[in-house]
Amino acid sequence: MPENDAEDDDLDNIPDVSADDYKDPNLKPFYLILRAKGNRKVFMSKEKIGIDRVAKIKEKPHQKNSLLMFDKRSNTIRLASERNFALGNKMGKDMKQGQQAVFRRVLNNKVTSDQILSMGKKNVKNKAKKCLQVNGKNAEMASLTWWTCNKSRELQKFERENKDKVHTKPDFNKTRFYIALAAKGKRNIYLSKEKQGEDFVLKLGKKRGPAEWRS
């Protein structure tokens, strides 16, 4: 495995504090998540192309290089740990379809046109109206690219999720009940072991609570 794809995400020269003095209480740090199998997060990898660092996706990247903020002054997506790094496309290339998505340091406080982005509810676009997309298959350490927007394309569905979002676990002890078919036999619905793709098939059983699976 190449060194650039190593699981160790520690970044050599990135300080823990922001280099940007701009403080906005309305700015909330967030993760940019691909809403597809795995719910993988966008992060700045150690792999480099020139002075750019390749943007990739991973299920559990280090917060230091995956927690982001949106700077409304410049319409840029920055690392929260070092706001001088902004998401954009490969330096020196235009914003045509297929260009590599990268993080690059904002030099001399001057944002380049390819670092200017807009965020929709389910996508991220650059100034040329190309959408952020997984380059290939949705997999660990897959790189990102800019591609013509397509609402039905799963690999373009990126959403922000606030860092402080609470994921509560369901409490199954509050109310338990069976769903029965009000017909002869009064069979109960239960979750069978039969699968269709990633889904489990619901079936009817004669006994109250089939012992082999959940009802």
- Distance separating alpha carbons of residues 91 and 34, to the nearest angstrom: 24
For residues 169-191, one letter each, b for 16 or more C-beta atoms within 10 angstroms of the residue's C-beta and e for the rest, the string is eeeeeeeeeeeeeeeeeebbebe
- Distance separating alpha carbons of residues 137 and 154, to the nearest angstrom: 10
Decide which of 162, 188, 207 is a domain's last residue: 162
Nearest residue to 138 (alpha-carbon basis) of 158, 117, 124, 160: 158
Residue 211 has what pLDDT?
A: 53
- Distance separating alpha carbons of residues 210 and 181, to the nearest angstrom: 15
With contact defined as beta carbons under 8 Å apart, do 64 and 9 qualify? yes
Average pLDDT, the chain: 81
Asked if residue 183 and residue 154 are part of one domain, the reply reads no
Asked if residue 58 and residue 136 are part of one domain, the reply reads yes
Asked if residue 117 and residue 44 are part of one domain, the reply reads yes
Asked if residue 213 and residue 126 are part of one domain, the reply reads no
With contact defined as beta carbons under 8 Å apart, do 79 and 105 qualify? no
- 200 in a structural domain: yes
- Distance separating alpha carbons of residues 31 and 40, to the nearest angstrom: 10
With contact defined as beta carbons under 8 Å apart, do 47 and 36 qualify? no
Asked if residue 214 and residue 112 are part of one domain, the reply reads no
Confidence of residue 207 (pLDDT cuts 50, 70, 90): low
Q: Which residue has the higher pLDDT, 153 or 19?
A: 153
- 169 in a structural domain: no
Q: Does the pTM of the predicted model rise above 0.75? A: no
Asked if residue 187 and residue 96 are part of one domain, the reply reads no
With contact defined as beta carbons under 8 Å apart, do 204 and 188 qualify? yes
The share of the chain scoring above pLDDT 90, in percent, equals 47
Asked if residue 56 and residue 26 are part of one domain, the reply reads yes
- Distance separating alpha carbons of residues 34 and 44, to the nearest angstrom: 15
Residue 26 has what pLDDT?
A: 58
Under 8 Å CB-to-CB from 102, ≥6 apart: which residues?
49, 52, 53, 54, 55, 87, 88, 89, 90, 91
Give the amino acid at 14: I
Residue 116 has what pLDDT?
A: 93
Asked if residue 201 and residue 100 are part of one domain, the reply reads no
Give the amino acid at 46: K
Range of the domain at 20: 3-162
Asked if residue 204 and residue 149 are part of one domain, the reply reads no
Answer whether residue 73 shows pLDDT above 60.
yes
Answer whether residue 127 shows pLDDT above 70.
yes
Q: Which residue has the higher pLDDT, 60 or 165?
A: 60
Answer whether residue 103 shows pLDDT above 60.
yes
